[in-house]
Structure 1
Amino acid sequence: MRPLDPRLLRYAHAARRFLLVGALLGLAQTLVVVAFAWLLTRAITFTVAGEPLRTIAPTLAALAGVVVLRSVLIWLLEVAANRGAAQVKSQLRAKVLAQLAERGPDWVASRQSARLSTVVTTGLDALDNYFARYLPQLLLTMIATPILIIVILSQDLISGLIVIVVIPLIPLFMILIGRVTQSVQQEQWQALQRLSTGFLDVVGGLGTLKIYGRERRQFDRIRSITEEYRTRTMKVLRVSFLSGFVLELAASLSVAIIAVSIGLRLIDGALLLGVGLFVLLLAPEVFLPVRQVGAQFHAASDGLAAAEELFAILDDETTPEISRADAVAHTVQLGSGALVLNGVSVRRGDTLVIDHLHAEFAPGQLSVLRGVSGVGKSTLVAALLGFVPFTGNLTLDGVTVSAGSTRGWLAWAGQRPGLFRGTVAENVALGAVSADPTGSDQSLVVQSLCWAGAAEVSPATVLGVNGEGLSGGQAQRVAAARAIYRALATDCHVLILDEPSSALDSDAEAGLLVGLRHLADQGRVVIVVSHRAAVAAAADNVIELQELTHV
């Protein structure tokens, strides 16, 4: 990533405001530095000349005021940097989450979930150092350094020429060291990604590993990845300390050259004390921002690596069909007619999964999609949801539905319950944005649970992460109740349930089928993906998907 990537300004408008505020504060801080050096020089020359205290007092008072003002400006710049970092992180997170939602679960599934989580969470948090430390110093380098060089040139041409000759050496060292730092930092970031992914895999499959007695091997694997990450972190620190030493040495030698030159000319009488002291006070300030940019680059490198990966997600155009269609999509109006598929074909990568499917799902009927495992049932559902591009014609009540159009007419529950921490009522009412599960919508929550065959589950039950506190069958029925709630609360015309009874016993399954029959009797299109015989027996319309023969 470049020192200031234009994509940061494009995706986060708060960065533009911070640059403007930072530039103004940097300019004010530079002027204060010049004033401080001039006032201090004046106070020292008055003292050397033997001036009385009443003559020096106004200069000392002004000097104290400048010191206070400089402290205030430094504090304001830090506040602006921290506030800008928080706003930029919020905007970037919102954009990347919107991008993930737009591309849908099919695109997200093709990426490593742990990698995406690391980028959006701890990765973006590392931008704090970029804004709070690195970017302010970069602004000061761009503003303060040229102004201070001009001031030194106006006072002492020789010292100014020395600064002009020496100062490019520091950026040269920074570029050489920066290349090494970027390389080792990228390796450290990849090690962190592997550590996150490996840990998530172990936690997810710990039960299975424990049963088969293979957990010790995974512990050793995590220990190995952790050791690799520790080693790479220490390597980054070594490079950081070495680069900091080189930059400090180069800056110190540069100031020493100027000091020696001024000292020799003061002895010869070729330079006035006031001028020499003023230039000598400004010389370290010229090199300070440049040194700090190099030093803070290492503190910001984690955030830069994460931002680079985040920009790659935002710039990814691997699924333009859906994203572009969504930009010009229309919202299909609620109708009372059938959902019709005419010659619909769906591909997963280069594999044709659904080939010219013709089907009609009529309102008032319970329709069942059947087929052997891997035949494409879930793929077809993903196409109906708009998550996967398709060819052919899909219409609702005669109105064409495109892959990227919004689907306010549809309620859905997938194979995974997808429950969150909170009460059962809050999980069920997630299907409607304006719902109040503790108020007037409580009765609708209870009705949805009843129609899902989960009447025994109390809406007040508090769940943990991933629905902890419910059995597999109860979690499945609560997920179905969420879809039913959405259908009732927002009057959705189409309800799709993907394997809603795979973990249910016959009694619970029968209760769910009764509820689905109620929904169908209200004139809705009810589609159930299931291989269960009882579901097929209760259906009005069974569509059998045939496995394609790939040559």
Structure 2
Amino acid sequence: MPDAESSPERTRMRPVDPRLLRYASASRGFFVAIAAIGFAQTLVIAAFAWLLTRAITGTIDALGTGASGADLPRTLMLLAGVVAVRAVLLWVREVVSARAAARVEAQLREQLVAAIGRLGPGWLAEQNSARLAVVAGRGLEALDAYFARYLPQLVLTAIATPILIAIMWWQDWISGLTVVLTIPLIPLFMILIGLATRSVQNAQWKTLGQLASRFADTVRGLSTLKVFGRQYRAVSSIEKVTASYRRETMRVLRVSFLSGFALELLASISVAIIAVSIGFRLIDGSLILAVGLFVLLLAPEAYLPLRQVGVQFHAAAEGVAATEDVFAVLDAASRAPRTGADAADAPLPSGSSFDLEVRDLRVRRGAALLPPVSFAARPGTVTLVEGPSGSGKTSLLAALRGAADFEGVAHIGGRDVRTVAPWHWLAWAGQQPGLVSGTIGGNVRLGDDRDATADGTVRRALDLAGAGALDPDAELGVQGAGLSGGQAQRVAVARAFHRHLSGHAPVIALDEPSAALDADTEAALWASVRSLADAGATVLLVSHRSTARAIADQVVALHPAEVTA
């Protein structure tokens, strides 16, 4: 994943990232709705202060003059109505924010998955997959606080604070001027504290990504660690990262509490200055009680929205950090060249020839190019690609399926493979089985949404792959746990066979399918591959086994050579 710590986007302090509006359309309507609610809340705040002032001054006048105070019940009823309206507006704001957070979270997660698919396996292989999982899961879930607390408060501040200051200035210009002079201190301290908060929050988020990566690597390599007696050292390493994450979390909390105290202190001092000024002018008679009390009731409300923005920033900081990582991936995908994965979701025309033609294809590895490869694979043939380790056999298949950049020509049915989605023409089985939790049959049918109850294709694919003894209804664990290495490899090959037999892919590409098989099972697999080719499949076989030559119609030999820039 792009280094978020060094990203220029990470170093900017912006209340709202404009990319949020671009990548999550649900956020646009959310801002409109929150603005309307914020304006209504501002009117309610002013009405509450005015009605409360009227009730208090009316009671004082009634006690002082002995009048009946007939308007007091009506004022109190209006005041109760305003309180109820304010409570309803708060409830509506919570509902709107929660729904917007859910929609934006779903949109960003969907776009993140689509962006990773567009960037391709080659890009993904260079990234921290565990951290990507944390970003897509825990990180985007943190948007709840961002939308439910921070953004509504930010919008309310932009609307309420100017209106309330204007009302105070209109009623008492001295109090209004005091607010105008003192309120900039709050955003000034917010910026200073925000810089510290962003620093510690980013450190916490980075440590969380390291913890997820360390844990995933330990679980994945646990058997190897046990063989070498290093499992306890791995546990110790995880404990150290966990302790570091705990320290970073406590630092975030300390900064949050400190910022809350600082903002409350500034607001309290500012309100106190206004109160003292009003008190002196009430004593000398230059200000009437109704105006002074009304302005004094509005003063805390003028400071409150801006103060709450600083407080809620800490609750939303984790979501902000996560969205920046998401935006980094989405930006990278928007700059990436279009590939077959971005092609229109339509198969090749039914009358197309499924010849695979490769001319001077040079796979790119970073800034280097592998030696050129040329061949033509026809339906009904087996093309064997062989060569020593590191000669580019797997890279060739990666280029054909859109997982690696290349130069040169690669056509399927007369069309560039980069303009045809690979799932429309290629049935592939790699060196890593890539099984998922679920049934064996579900793994074989991966990508096929048809009802499997009356489909015997799964059983036939398993038989052809030499896995006929496996029960399609047997449950597998994570990454195919429950099968041996050879069985998992055969299930992966059966998956490629099933896709071809189902009519989804005319070309079968197998990368070292017999690496984990014994001699007898390998011979049966070669016979199955040959039978599929004789039935019309175009087979591209990568293998270092000399026995594969017996079923090959042509052999493409790759030789190790110096790559060129």
Partner of 2:44: 32
Q: Structure 1 residues 331 and 492, CA, compared in 2 at 3 Å: closer, same or farther?
A: closer
Match of 1:527 in 2: 540
Superposed displacement of residue 324, structure 1: 9.8
Matched residues in 1 for 2:415 and 2:343: separation? 16
Q: Is the 8 A contact 2:115 2:333 kept in 1?
A: no
- 2:89 equivalent to 1:73: yes
- Could you tell me how far apart the structure 2 residues matched to 1:230 and 1:283 are? 40
User: What does 1:231-380 align with in structure 2 at a 5 Å threshold?
Assistant: 231-316=247-332, 320-323=336-339, 326=342, 332-333=348-349, 335-353=352-370, 355-380=371-396
Structure 1 residues 247 and 45 mapped into 2: Cα distance closer, same or farther (>3 Å)? same
Q: What residue identity is the alignment partner of 1:49?
A: D
Q: How does 1:373-412 map to 2 (within 5 A)?
A: 373-397=389-413, 399-407=414-422, 408-412=424-428
Quote the Cα distance in structure 1 between the aligned partners of 2:504 and 2:274. 79
Contact 1:383 1:403 in 2 (8 A): no
Q: Summarize the alignment of residues 422-437 of structure 1 with structure 2, pairs less than 5 Å apart.
A: 422-432=438-448, 434-437=449-452
Aligned-residue offset at 1:323 = 4.9
Alignment correspondent of 2:56: 44
* Shift in Å, 1:63: 1.0
Retained in 1: the 8 A contact 2:131–2:209? yes
SS at match of 2:374: strand
CA contact (8 A) 2:340 2:421 kept: no
Aligned-pair distance for 1:64?
0.9
Q: AA paired with 2:529?
A: L
What CA distance in whole angstroms lies between the structure 1 residues aligned with 2:236 and 2:274? 57
Counterpart CA distance in 1 for 2:520 and 2:82 is 81
The C-alpha deviation readout for 1:414-434, integer Å capped at 9, x for no partner, is 1111111211222211132x3
Task: Report the counterpart of residue 16 of structure 1 in structure 2.
Answer: 28
Matches within 5 A, 1:134-283: 134-283=150-299
What does residue 508 of structure 1 align with? Answer: 521
Contact residue 388 and residue 403 of structure 1 kept, 8 A: no
Percent identity between the two aligned chains? 53
Asked if structure 2 preserves the Cα contact closer than 8 Å seen for 1:387 and 1:403, the reply is: no
Q: How many residues align?
A: 546
Matching of residue 488 in structure 1 with residue 501 in structure 2: yes
CA distance in 1, matches of 2:193, 2:285: 42
Once residues 24 and 352 of structure 1 are traced to their aligned partners in structure 2, the CA distance between those partners, rounded to angstroms, is 57
Q: Secondary structure at the match of 2:287?
A: coil
Conserved 8 A contact 1:386-1:405: no
The equivalences for 1:112-127 within 5 A come to: 112-127=128-143
Q: How far off is 1:29 after superposition?
A: 1.0
Question: How far is 1:405 from its partner?
Answer: 3.0
**3-state SS of 1:523 partner:** coil
Whether the 8 Å CA contact 1:336–1:523 is kept in 2: the answer is no
Q: After superposition, what is the alpha-carbon deviation per residue over 1:224-262, rounded to whole angstroms, capped at 9, x for unaligned?
A: 222222212211211111111110000001111111111
CA–CA distance in structure 1, aligned partners of residues 290 and 97 of structure 2: 36
Q: What amino acid sits opposite 1:48 in the alignment?
A: I
- Give how far 1:402 is off: 4.1
Shift of 1:17: 1.2
Shift of 1:86: 1.0
Tell me the secondary structure at the aligned position of residue 372 of structure 2. strand
1:191-250 CA deviation, whole Å, 9 max, x = no partner?
212222112111111111111111222222222222222212211211111111110000
Amino acid at match of 1:377: K
Tell me if the contact between 1:431 and 1:483 (Cα under 8 Å) persists in the aligned partners: no
Counterpart contact for 2:341–2:421, Cα < 8 Å: no
1:428–1:481 Cα contact (<8 Å) kept:
yes
Aligned to 1:478: 491
Segment drifting more, 5-14 vs 120-129: 120-129
For residues 504 and 403 of structure 2, the distance between their equivalents in structure 1, rounded to whole angstroms, comes to 22
CA contact (8 A) 1:85 1:131 kept: yes
Q: What's 1:413 paired with?
A: 429
Larger mean Cα displacement after TM superposition, 170-179 or 449-458:
449-458
Q: Which amino acid aligns with 2:538?
A: V
CA separation of 1:491 and 1:406: change in aligned 2, threshold 3 A:
closer
> Residue 199 and residue 29 in structure 1: after superposition, are their counterparts in 2 closer, same or farther (change >3 A)?
same
- Alignment RMSD, CA only? 1.9
Identify unmatched segments of 5+ residues in structure 1: none
The question of whether the paired residues in 2 share the 8 Å contact of 1:454 and 1:477 is answered with yes
Give the stretch that moved more between structures: 363-372 or 513-522.
513-522
> Aligned partner of 1:69: which letter?
V
Q: Give 2:503's aligned amino acid.
A: T
Cα deviation digits, residues 475-528 of structure 1 (max 9, x gap): 111111111111122342111111222112233323333332232122110112
Separation in 2, partners of 1:387, 1:67: 60
Question: Is residue 340–residue 402 contact of structure 2 (8 Å, CA) maintained in 1?
Answer: no
Shift of the alpha carbon at 1:44? 1.1
Name the stretch that deviates more: 129-138 or 261-270.
261-270
Q: CA deviation at 1:268?
A: 1.6
Paired with 2:340 and 2:497, the residues of 1 have a C-alpha distance of 31
* Distance in 1 of aligned mates of 2:139 and 2:341: 31
> Which residue of 89, 101, 119 maps to 1:103?
119
Contact 1:366–1:525 (CA under 8 A) maintained in structure 2: yes
Q: Measure, in 2, the Cα distance between the counterparts of 1:185 and 1:80.
A: 27
Question: What SS does the corresponding residue of 1:49 show, helix, strand or coil?
Answer: helix
Alpha-carbon contact 2:41-2:86 (below 8 Å) kept:
yes
Q: Any idea what the Cα deviations from partners look like across 1:101-147, whole Å, max 9, x if unmatched?
A: 11111110011111211221111112211111111110110011011
What one-letter code is carried by the residue in structure 2 that aligns with 1:179?
Answer: L
Q: 2:511 aligns with which of 460, 484, 498?
A: 498
Question: C-alpha separation between the residues in 2 aligned to 1:53 and 1:425?
Answer: 82
Unmatched runs of 5 consecutive residues or more in structure 2: 1-9
Indicate the SS of the match to 1:321. Answer: coil
Q: Tell me the SS of whatever aligns to 2:363.
A: strand
> After superposition, what is the alpha-carbon deviation per residue over 1:7-53, rounded to whole angstroms, capped at 9, x for unaligned?
01100001111111111111111111111111111111111112536
Q: Using the alignment, how far apart are the partners of 1:331 and 1:426 within structure 2?
A: 23
